[in-house]
């Protein structure tokens, strides 16, 4: 190789093993995360789901913990939505169970105890890996495009695809409204592949201190039963 070509060659760009950011030439530490790039113990941060670009399970749970602590400190309500791809979810009156759940939650804003007959909802696990990822991408885009800027969506699971949305300063009426909009957007996104979405909704009353695991568990109960969950009453 001619000496001129050797002198003109640019050094290959390096990427940080922890966060994936590009490293400037000659740098020792990553300017994004501060990890030494030649550290053999460095591990990927993995806070973002690579398929969807949303926060993953390792990060969305701490986000929920932080919002629960803030809601408790300042006496504010907190809403939470669990979105999942399901099969055969129908309420006794013929409406989709999550829509009925949202309607019941809206009624709960004026009445003390919403009543809704349970609906049979089964998680859709009949996926190939490619179908699973495509469904998750469509659901994530629909949810992220529907929520407010202050809300935080994240991926809770891949099989079946599950998304979690944290809604700060949101009472039961606002949570029900968000659930209805999210459900419409998800169903529209999944219309082409024959699947549909279901939403479980939880509202934590102002000033109540709960942990993220209890809230996610309550959201799962809401999704399966078709009833909204009001915690801290």
Structural domain includes residue 175: yes
Containing structural domain, residue 35: 14-45
Report the domain count for the chain: 2
Q: If you average pLDDT over residues 82-89, what whole number do you get?
A: 77
- The pLDDT of residue 66 is 94
Residues of 70-90 as b/e, b for ≥16 C-beta within 10 angstroms?
ebbeeebbbbbbbbbbbbebe
Can you give the CATH number for the domain in which 97 is found? 3.30.70.270
Check if the beta carbon of residue 231 is closer than 8 Å to that of residue 203. Answer: yes
Rounded Cα gap, residues 216 and 145, in angstroms = 22
Is the pLDDT score of 180 beyond 70?
A: yes
Closest by CA to 230, choosing from 222, 34, 85, is 222
Model confidence, pTM: 0.71
Q: In this structure, are 128 and 70 located in the same domain?
A: yes
- Evaluate the CA torsion angle 123, 129, 135, 138 in order and state its sign: positive
pLDDT tens for 200-223 read: 999 998 777 899 999 999 999 999
Q: Token pair of 146, please?
A: 């529907």
Q: What is the DSSP letter of 32?
A: T
Q: In this structure, are 116 and 192 located in the same domain?
A: yes
pLDDT tens for 100-138 read: 555 554 554 444 333 333 444 555 556 687 888 899 999
Query: Residue 158: how many CA atoms within 13 Å on its side-chain side?
Result: 15
């Amino acid at each position: 190789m001619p000496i001129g070509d050797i002198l003109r060659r640019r050094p290959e760009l390096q990427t940080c093993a922890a966060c994936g950011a590009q490293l400037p030439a000659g740098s020792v530490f990553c300017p994004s995360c501060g990890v030494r790039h030649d550290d053999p113990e460095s591990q990927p941060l993995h806070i973002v789901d690579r398929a969807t670009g949303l926060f993953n399970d390792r990060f969305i749970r701490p986000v929920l913990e932080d919002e629960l602590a803030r809601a408790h400190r300042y006496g504010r309500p907190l809403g939470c939505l669990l979105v999942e791809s399901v099969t055969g979810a129908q309420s006794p009156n013929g409406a989709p169970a999550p829509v009925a759940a949202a309607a019941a939650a809206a009624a709960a804003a004026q009445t003390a105890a919403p009543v809704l007959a349970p609906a049979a909802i089964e998680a859709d696990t009949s996926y190939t890996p490619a179908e699973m990822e495509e469904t998750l991408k469509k659901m994530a885009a629909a949810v992220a495009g529907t929520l407010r800027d202050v809300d935080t969506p994240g991926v809770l699971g891949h099989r079946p695809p599950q998304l979690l949305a944290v809604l700060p300063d949101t009472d039961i009426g606002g949570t029900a409204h968000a659930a209805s909009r999210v459900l419409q957007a998800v169903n529209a996104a999944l219309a082409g592949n024959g699947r549909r979405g279901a939403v479980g909704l939880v509202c934590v009353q102002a000033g109540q201190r709960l942990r993220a695991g209890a809230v996610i568990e309550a959201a799962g109960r809401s999704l399966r039963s078709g009833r909204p969950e009001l915690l801290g009453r």
